[in-house]
Structure 1
Amino acid sequence: MAVEPSGKLIVFSAPSGAGKTTIATMVLQRIANLSFSVSATTRKQREGEQDGVNYYFLDKATFEKKIEQGGFIEHEFFFGNYYGTLLDATESVLASGKNLLLDVDVKGALNVRKLFGERSLLIFIQPPSMEVLIERLQGRGSEDDAALQERLERARFEMSFADQFDTIIVNNNLTAAVDDVEAAIVNFIG
């Protein structure tokens, strides 16, 4: 890397619907020296999402060009779209001394660990049960039956990696989960 980072990376992974975005939002409000990493994606922008705030929405050709140029610290292709963390944006935040919170899939998290080693804390947010996860996903109203089944298969796959993370937080009670995540991060960043 061109810049020796002084900040640290906190990496969240979870199955879709486990509550990681809600937890991340709440933790970011509590910890001053923590910024959220905005991922890039080729998926369609959802209602209410803003480019550069929720995601950097890129077309497939642009995303693939950035892959070829080594422009991501991690990237994955799933559900028919690319997702990735931009290297230059990450380096810029870390070089400023801020700590960065990444919301990535399990493979992306493990890639971050390979690159940043002990400068990264991997936190897995787990739903209390598959039944609760199904209820949460159905409650979104954004998935047809086929997409729901695909997300559930993906959830089972992702949960099989949980033991490779530094911390597993079961999101059974949102307040308790946020408190536990905050404590883990504060302990890590000092």
Structure 2
Amino acid sequence: MKDDKGLLIVLSGPAGVGKGTVCGALREEDTNIEYSVSATTRAPRPGEEHGVNYFFHSKEEFEKMIEEGRLLEWAQYVDNYYGTPLDYVEETIDRGKDIILEIEVQGAEKVKERYPEGTFIFLMPPSLAELRSRIVGRGTETSELIDKRMTVAKNEIDMMKMYDYVVENDEIEKAVSRIRSIVTAEHCKQERLIEKYKELAEVE
């Protein structure tokens, strides 16, 4: 029988909703989930390793990857490219590992175009008031920037219909538990298992 393939899990949500914290807690609990390693053209920082923190490429190499369709999604920030290598994602999935991609809504939209069979999860705050409170609590942004983030958050929430699941991040432990339940259910979908069990039925 063929080995089970892993899942591509895409997690999005407004800035300040706690995506990074939830991803970290999820990976601590589930060793079968790997974090997607992005490609970039920025220079490595002290202590960073190629293939661990990022895949570091020259601008020419990255642009060739774009031309050849070897990125699930990509964007340009402050003169550097960032993106998700398609071959890395597929190799991880083929090894039977789940891979989680923490990404903004616009990037998730691009991923869904290239990889519609992924599992798309939108992380919601309990309320917009709570989201603002979390952003204010960081103490790193001006009131003007916070207002802009809240406007963006409302627009992102309007795009929730693009996702398969919505998980409220009221408490980290509860949010992680809900996502783990989703992952378990996705692994049990008949379309993922039918070929495997067809082979089993053919064994005499």
Provide TM-score, normalisation by structure 2.
0.73
In structure 2, what is the equivalent of residue 97 of structure 1? Answer: 96
Instruction: Say if 1:6 and 1:69 are closer, same or farther in 2 by CA, change over 3 A.
Output: same
C-alpha displacement of 1:78: 6.9
**Amino acid across the alignment from 2:179:** V
User: 3-state SS of the aligned residue for 1:117?
Assistant: coil
Instruction: Say if 1:94 and 1:83 are closer, same or farther in 2 by CA, change over 3 A.
Output: same
User: 3-state SS of the aligned residue for 2:99?
Assistant: strand
C-alpha displacement of 1:171: 0.9
Counterpart CA distance in 2 for 1:105 and 1:150 is: 15
Give the conservation status (yes or no) of the 8 Å contact 2:120–2:165. yes
Mapped pair 1:129 → 2:127: yes
**Amino acid across the alignment from 2:113:** K
Residue identity over aligned pairs, in percent, reads 36
Counterpart CA distance in 1 for 2:170 and 2:160 is: 16
In structure 1, what is the equivalent of residue 36 of structure 2? Answer: 37
Instruction: Say if 1:121 and 1:67 are closer, same or farther in 2 by CA, change over 3 A.
Output: same
In structure 2, what is the equivalent of residue 147 of structure 1? Answer: 145
In structure 1, what is the equivalent of residue 196 of structure 2? Answer: none
Instruction: Say if 1:80 and 1:148 are closer, same or farther in 2 by CA, change over 3 A.
Output: farther
Instruction: Say if 1:15 and 1:81 are closer, same or farther in 2 by CA, change over 3 A.
Output: farther
Mapped pair 1:163 → 2:161: yes
C-alpha displacement of 1:6: 3.3
Mapped pair 1:85 → 2:84: yes
In structure 1, what is the equivalent of residue 114 of structure 2? Answer: 115
In structure 1, what is the equivalent of residue 202 of structure 2? Answer: none
Give the conservation status (yes or no) of the 8 Å contact 2:42–2:80. yes
Q: How does 1:36-55 map to 2 (within 5 A)?
A: 36-40=35-39, 50=48, 53=52, 55=54
Counterpart CA distance in 2 for 1:55 and 1:138 is: 30
Q: Which 4+ residue blocks in structure 1 deviate beyond 3 angstroms? A: 40-46, 48-66, 76-83, 144-147
Provide structure 1 residue ranges, at least 5 long, that are not aligned to the other structure. Answer: none
Instruction: Say if 1:21 and 1:98 are closer, same or farther in 2 by CA, change over 3 A.
Output: same
RMSD (CA atoms): 3.2
Provide TM-score, normalisation by structure 1.
0.78
C-alpha displacement of 1:58: 6.7
Counterpart CA distance in 2 for 1:121 and 1:185 is: 8
C-alpha displacement of 1:143: 2.5
**Amino acid across the alignment from 1:75:** W
**Amino acid across the alignment from 1:31:** D
State the aligned residue count. Answer: 184
